[in-house]
Amino acid sequence: MTTNPSPELWLYDTTLRDGTQREGLSVSIEDKLRIAKRLDQLGIPFIEGGWPGANPKDVQFFWQLQEDPLKQAEIVAFCSTRRPNTTAASEPMLQAILAAGTRWVTVFGKSWDLHVTTGLKTTLDENLAMIRDTIEYLCAQGRRVIYDAEHWFDGYKHNQNYALQTLEAAIASGAEWLVLCDTNGGALPHEVSQIVEAVNSHLSFVLCQKSMTNDRGQMTIPQIGIHTHNDSDMAVANALAAVMAGAKMVQGTINGYGERCGNANLCSLIPNLQLKLGYSCIGEDELAQLTEASHFVSEVVNLAPDEHAPFVGRSAFAHKGGIHVSAVERNPLTYEHIQPEQVGNRRRIVISEQSGLSNVLAKARTFGIELDQHQSEARQILQRMKDLESEGYQFEAAEASFALLMYEALGERQQFFEIKGFQVHCDLIEGKQTSSALATIKVAVNGQNILEAAEGNGPVAALDAALRKALLNFYPQIAAFELTDYKVRILNGHTGTAAKTRALVESGNGHQRWTTVGVSTNILEASYQAVVEGLEYGLLLHSQKEAVFLSTQKSKAENTRISES
């Protein structure tokens, strides 16, 4: 792993705290630990782990990291200022923070006078005392403090003088970072730029004029950070505006997870900062892991990845229009703003009824098939694809089926087995909430007919099980294949139960995933087509892998023979 020991910008990830406040997102202690270690590998300097004391899960999380620390990242505990009219030393919440054992603590306090009087129901002076007392206490206990100025931009707009007083209180108490938070997500980039510049100017003036020192007599020179929310779809833009105005810390979450509309998305911020603005955030090797890290986190939190997410989405570098594909084949700069590999993504050529011959030629190359534009087979593939798409097939979502279509047009499609027929019988038992299905299938392999039956919790599961059972003795590698996703869409709902159905089946072998498609007015037939092609494509991948292995072994043997002679 290569990291920059002194980045120009400090990244601060709050996926494990702010990100988990997203509706529908829930993580276990084990999930949080896995994500923290992945972020550590990515080179994120600060990882906010949660609020110790707020719930047992966060307490356990910090204890676990004391036993098994991260390699390079600083794990940060999060908490609020003390309650009104108490003391920090007597605050139980702060004892839990100290017990977490982190070197850094992030404390948030109120910047907006409205929240002080309405939310906390205390005086403006007491709020300043709460900020000072909390930070001073934590610093006295050997902690380094990041101060999150909650609702900063709204507070600054409504009462500029008081908002600035809260920052001065944090500085005088020993805070090393002042993070300006757009908590409601309503600010616009031009406002963020102006306010960050104004804050920097004001603090420079205060430090020079007042010779501000902390309680140990040391001159404090805090740096500005930015924390933005996405309620106006401006979180990334606002964070970038703050950095260009002088902010040195950027807080955000992986995939933009967060409460309401989410937080600033680090998967967009990092490449924009590093590749577009020239800031040093993480190492190039780590940047090339960004797509994988994004997908890893989405997998752990059990949320489907956003396929259209900038930089890391599956469609971020996908080209569908024929003119686009033709241009990208000549020079990727024509339709790509960066090289996909810089963020660990890849270029994809999408096949659909809108495609031209250039799409087919480019897509064929991704499967190791070299076609010439003057070949009749190339145009046959294009026309066959367009005809099938007009019937409801969708090859951009089922690239494995398109590969089989190409092999068939070229006369190279291997026939691993032949379906002679199948029957599916479903039982719905009265008074019970579950149903069962029995599928019987007849398959021919190498001229031998096999009849098998299997049960499943539904007709597609039963059919899949029966087919696998029939083929397993001939193709034992099928045992490693699994059906990872199954989607059905009604294409012409106005025809009622006679509507045409499209079934998409995603399969995998533990190393690769592929998707196949079937279309029919019979939902079982559509599903059967997709399931069968899924198994067929898996067997094709295995046979190609074996062919490469045998070719390699043959070459080694030949080289050995030549060297010995």
Q: Is the pLDDT of residue 27 over 50?
A: yes
pLDDT tens digits, 159-186: 999 999 999 999 999 999 999 999 999 9
Q: Is the pLDDT of residue 355 over 50?
A: yes
Asked whether the beta carbons of 113 and 124 are under 8 A apart, the reply is yes
Asked whether the beta carbons of 351 and 402 are under 8 A apart, the reply is yes
pTM for the structure as a whole:
0.74
Q: What is the pLDDT of residue 560?
A: 67
Asked whether the beta carbons of 38 and 321 are under 8 A apart, the reply is no
Identify the residue with better confidence: 307 or 194. 194
User: If you average pLDDT over residues 132-154, what whole number do you get?
Assistant: 98
Report the distance separating Cα 255 and Cα 119, nearest Å.
31
Asked whether the beta carbons of 170 and 147 are under 8 A apart, the reply is yes
Q: What is the pLDDT of residue 111?
A: 98
Q: Is the pLDDT of residue 217 over 60?
A: no
pLDDT tens digits, 111-121: 999 999 999 99
Least confident of 69-73, 211-215, 533-537: 211-215
* Residue-by-residue DSSP string for 400-426: HHHHHHHHHHTT------EEEEEEEEE
Non-local (6+) Cβ contacts of 159 within 8 A are 112, 113
Report the distance separating Cα 487 and Cα 290, nearest Å.
28
Quote the radius of gyration of the chain (alpha carbons, Å). 30
From the candidate CATH numbers 3.30.1370.10, 3.40.50.720, 3.30.160.270, 1.10.3720.10, the one assigned to the domain spanning 418-537: 3.30.160.270
Burial of 8 (0-12, 13-18, 19+ CB in 10 A): middle
Q: What is the pLDDT of residue 125?
A: 98
What is the CATH topology of the domain spanning 10-300? TIM Barrel (3.20.20)
**Residue type for position 518:** G
**Residue type for position 203:** L
Q: What is the pLDDT of residue 6?
A: 43
At residue 207 the predicted structure's pLDDT band, cuts being 50, 70 and 90, is confident
pLDDT tens digits, 458-472: 888 899 999 999 999
At residue 511 the predicted structure's pLDDT band, cuts being 50, 70 and 90, is confident
At residue 433 the predicted structure's pLDDT band, cuts being 50, 70 and 90, is low
User: If you average pLDDT over residues 238-258, what whole number do you get?
Assistant: 97
At residue 48 the predicted structure's pLDDT band, cuts being 50, 70 and 90, is very high
Whole-number average pLDDT of the chain: 90
Report the distance separating Cα 523 and Cα 239, nearest Å.
48
DSSP for residue 337 = S
**DSSP element (H, E) containing 435:** strand 435-445
Report the distance separating Cα 283 and Cα 518, nearest Å.
44
- Residue recorded with tokens 């707020």: 54
User: If you average pLDDT over residues 290-298, what whole number do you get?
Assistant: 94
Helix (H, G, I), strand (E, B) or coil at 38: helix
How far CA 449 is from CA of 33, 424, 474, in Å, comes to 52, 19, 12
Report the distance separating Cα 346 and Cα 295, nearest Å.
14
Q: Is the pLDDT of residue 351 over 80?
A: no
Cα atoms in the 13 Å half-sphere on the side-chain side of 87:
3
Q: What is the pLDDT of residue 432?
A: 62
**Domain regions of the chain by residue span:** 10-300, 318-409, 418-537
If phi > 0 it is left, if psi is from -120 to 50 it is alpha, else beta; for residue 50 that is: left
Q: Is the pLDDT of residue 231 over 50?
A: yes
Asked whether the beta carbons of 102 and 76 are under 8 A apart, the reply is yes
Quick one: tokens of 294? 């994004």
Helix (H, G, I), strand (E, B) or coil at 161: helix
Q: What is the pLDDT of residue 3?
A: 39
**Residue type for position 86:** T
What are the counts of helices (DSSP H) followed by strands (DSSP E) for the chain? 18, 16
Q: Is the pLDDT of residue 244 over 90?
A: yes
Q: What is the pLDDT of residue 562?
A: 66
In terms of average pLDDT, the best of 128-132, 406-410, 459-463 is 128-132
* Residue-by-residue DSSP string for 7-76: -SSEEEE-TTTTGGGSTT----HHHHHHHHHHHHHHT-SEEEEE-BTTBHHHHHHHHHHHHS--SSPEEE
